[in-house]
Amino acid sequence: MTPPIETIYRHESRRVLATLIRLLGDFDLAEEALHEAFLVAMQRWEHDGVPSNPRAWLVSTGRFKAIDRLRRQARFTPLLQAQADALAAADWDDEDVEDDRLRLIFTCCHPALAADAQVPLTLREICDLTTEEIARAFLVPPATIAQRIVRAKGKIREAKIPYQVPSLAELPERLDSVLRVIYLVFNEGYSASMGADLTRDDLTREAIRLGRLLLELLPEPEVMGLLALMLLHESRRPARTSAGGELVLLDEQDRALWDASLIAEGCALVEQALTTRRFGPYGLQAAIAAVHAEAPSAEHTDWPQIVGLYDVLLRAVPSPVIELNRAVALAMRDGPLAGLQQVEAILARGELLDYHLAYSARGEFCRQLGRLDEARLAYEKALSLTRQTPEKHFLERRLASLTPI
C-alpha cells in the first residue's frame, strides 16, 4: 500500500467493515469485500487521486464487489442471485457509519454468543488483530481461537442476531456485556495471565481505543467510569516494571513516571461520572484509582477514603477479589494484622483458594508482622499458582529476603 492508503486503512478500515457487515449481513463476505475494495483503491487512487470521501468510496466499492461475487457464485447456488439482487436494490446512508461501529460492538458481545467467543470476536472484528495475535494474548492455540470465532459468526448468522444498538429497555443488560469484554481485554494487557511479560501494551491500547469509541457513541456514566479506570491504570504502566522487566509494587513505584495527561483525563471522567449519581462498579473502581493517582506517595494516600469506596463497591458487587483488594487498603489504614485477618477469613470460607494474589497478600502481611515461617509458606503457595514470569521473580525475591527458618 502507498502511504496515503496505509493511513486510510489504519483509520477507516474497521469503520468500513462495520458498515459492510450491516449491509451484507455476513462477516466473511464483508471482510472479503473490504480487502477487494482496498485492492481496487491501490490501483485507481494512484492515478485518479484519493476521493473526497474515501470511506464512502470504499463502502460503495466493497458493496458492489460483494454483489459481483454473489452473482458469480449464483451459477452454482441459485439462491444467491436473490441475495445479490436485494443488495443491489438496497440504499445505504454514508452518514451512519459511527452507529455501525457501535452496532458491531454490541453484535460481537451479544449475550447469545458464548462468553469465551465474545472477546476473540471483538478483537478480530473491532480491533483488527489476527487470529495468531489473539491466540498469543490468551495463550491458546490459534486453531482454538479460530474455532470460537467461526462458531460465533455462525451463531450470529443462524440466530439472525440483528446488527443494532439495543433498545432502551435492553440497554443495561447489553451494555454490561460490552463493558465486561472491553475490561477483560484491558486486564489481559495490563496484567497478562501468564508469560514472560507483565503487560501487553497493544491490548491496553486497543481496549482504551474501544472505550473512547464507546464513550463517543454512548456517553453513559459507566462507560465514563470504565474509560477512566483504564486510563488511570494505564498511567502507571511505565512505573510497574523495572528497567530489567521486574515487577514493582504500587507503593514502591516512581510516581514521576506516571503519565500526568492520562491521570488528568481519567480524573475528569471520574468526576463527570460521579456527578450523574448513576455510577456503578466501574465508576467506583475508577474513583479508587483516582485517589491513588492524586496521592504524592503511598504514605500520603487517603486510605480511609479508599476503604470507604471499597465498602460501597462491595455492597454493589459482592466479590472475594474486591474483598481482597479492600483488605490491602485496610492494612494500609489499620496495619497488617487487620489485612491478614480479612484475607484469612476469605480463605477460611473456601474462596480464592487457587488465586495466587490472595496468598501473596497473606505472605506480605505475615512478613510485615515478623511471622516469617507463615510468610514463607504463603509465598511458596503463591509461587506455585502464578503463571507469569515477572510475578514468579518477585515472589522468589520475597522468599530470598526472609530469614531462614
CATH number, residue 373: 1.25.40.10
Instruction: Give the C-alpha separation, 309 to 388, whole Å.
Output: 30
Q: Where a domain ends, among 54, 73, 95?
A: 95
d(CA 394, CA 274): 36
Which bin fits 192, alpha (ψ -120 to 50), beta or left (φ > 0)?
A: beta
pTM assigned to the model: 0.77
Task: Report the C-alpha dihedral over residues 270, 275, 280, 282, rounded to 10 degrees.
Answer: -10
Q: Is the distance from CB of 122 to CB of 105 less than 8 angstroms? A: yes
> What single DSSP character describes residue 298?
S
- Domain termination site, one of 95, 129, 157: 95
Q: Are 178 and 186 contacting, i.e. CB atoms less than 8 angstroms apart?
A: no
Which of the 8 DSSP states describes residue 369? T
- Amino acid 405: pLDDT: 46
Residue position matching grid coordinates 443494532: 164
Residue 86 lies in a domain: yes
Q: What pLDDT was estimated at residue 243? A: 81
Contact between 81 and 40 under an 8 Å Cβ cutoff? The reply is no
CA atoms of 148 and 129, how far apart (whole Å): 15
Residue 16 located in a structural domain: yes
What pLDDT is stored for residue 137 in this prediction? 67
> What is residue 72's predicted lDDT score, i.e. its pLDDT?
77
370 in any annotated domain: yes
116 in any annotated domain? no
Instruction: Name the residue range of residue 332's domain.
Output: 318-405
Supply 112's cell numbers. 447469545
Which among 73, 95, 117 is the end of a domain?
A: 95
The whole-angstrom separation of Cα 280 and Cα 158 is 34
Rounded CA-CA distance 15/222 in Å is 24
Query: Which residue from 333, 342, 347, 293 is spatially nearest to 314, judged by alpha carbons?
Result: 342
* pLDDT tens sequence across 14-29: 888 988 888 888 888 8
Cell 513505584, located at residue: 253
**How many structural domains are present in the chain?**
2
| pLDDT (0 to 100) of residue 66 | 86
Q: Which residue has the cell 469506596?
A: 309
**C-alpha dist (Å) from residue 281 to 20, 29, 175, 277, 312:** 35, 39, 13, 12, 9
Q: CA dist 161 to 22, 37, 96, 104, 110, Å?
A: 11, 26, 20, 11, 8
In a domain, 40, yes or no: yes
C-alpha cell at 126: 473491532
Of 51, 66, 74, 53, nearest to 17 by C-alpha is 66
392: left (phi over 0), alpha (psi -120 to 50) or beta: alpha
In a domain, 15, yes or no: yes
Please report how many Cα atoms fall inside a 13 Å half-sphere around the Cα of residue 259, on the Cβ side: 14
The verdict on residue 162 lying in a domain is no
Instruction: Please report the pLDDT score of residue 34 as a whole number.
Output: 93
In a domain, 397, yes or no: yes
Could you say which residues of the chain have pLDDT below 50? 405
